[in-house]
Amino acid sequence: MFGTIIYRVTMVVSAISLCAGPAVAGEVAESIPIKPNSVVQSFLHSLASTNIQDRQKLFSTGTQEELRQKLAEVQKMAGGDKEMVLQLLYFSAHASGMEEAMLPGFILEQLAISKTDFAAAVLPLLDSEDESTRHLAAEHLPFADANTKGGVDFSRYETILREKKQNPPPGLIRYMYGRNPQAAVIAVARVYSPDVPETEVAVKAKSGVKESVNYFAGRSDWWAHLYVAAMMEKEPYLRTPELVKKLEQDTDPLVREKVSKLKDKLQPK
């Protein structure tokens, strides 16, 4: 009987087919500005194939150790950890089915690519001029910030914001507030308003929605207003003309960007 790894990959592909949600990969793939490595992409396509014979051609014994060796070779051909991450993103974006779209997660697990290297590869894509690229990055970046308790850990991003405090990457801030507004406002406040008691911000961010929105709307800080805008985006009932008018007074580009998008979604009083 052929080695256990073929069986394992088959089970992974089958589980993905049965359990995963609708794939979005491939819908806007043509504009993704990542240069594909033909050898790496060919290997991934064969590994993701629903035809077991295609996968058997990749291995001689089909053992776990052979898989690791093969992946190490492919990773080297890609150019290292960061380049391999980009190749996996490209593959997912151009996937023709759920099996292909979800295989990169299995590969990341096998290669044990660190969250630091994953984030370093993906974060620059958040500031791409191409909307589909930004969406692809935001869709995959949770791999780098999810914690074991089901929450988020933005400490890595805090470090980046401190280093680039005068000119922070807007894509990162957009991502943080879109991913988890509560965690984002706490993290960003630590960087930009260290004089504000962290416990106060944390308590207000984790309080009831209306209470937290009223508190942060009443502050003059851009990071507080961005939290309000993010919550209004998530909770339509908060989109009142009065609240939008208050946020319009903020001159921060990110806040104004959010407000302009919210204006068209205003609910009647």
Radius of gyration of the CA atoms of the chain, in A: 22
What does the pLDDT profile of the chain (269 residues) look like in tens digits? 444 454 455 444 444 333 333 344 444 555 678 899 999 999 998 888 877 787 778 887 778 888 889 999 999 999 999 999 999 999 988 888 777 878 888 899 889 899 999 999 999 999 999 899 999 999 999 999 998 888 899 999 999 999 999 999 999 999 999 999 999 999 999 999 999 998 999 999 999 899 999 999 999 999 999 999 999 999 999 988 889 999 999 999 999 999 998 877 665 54
- The predicted model scores a pTM of 0.84
**Domain residue spans of the chain:** 4-113, 180-263
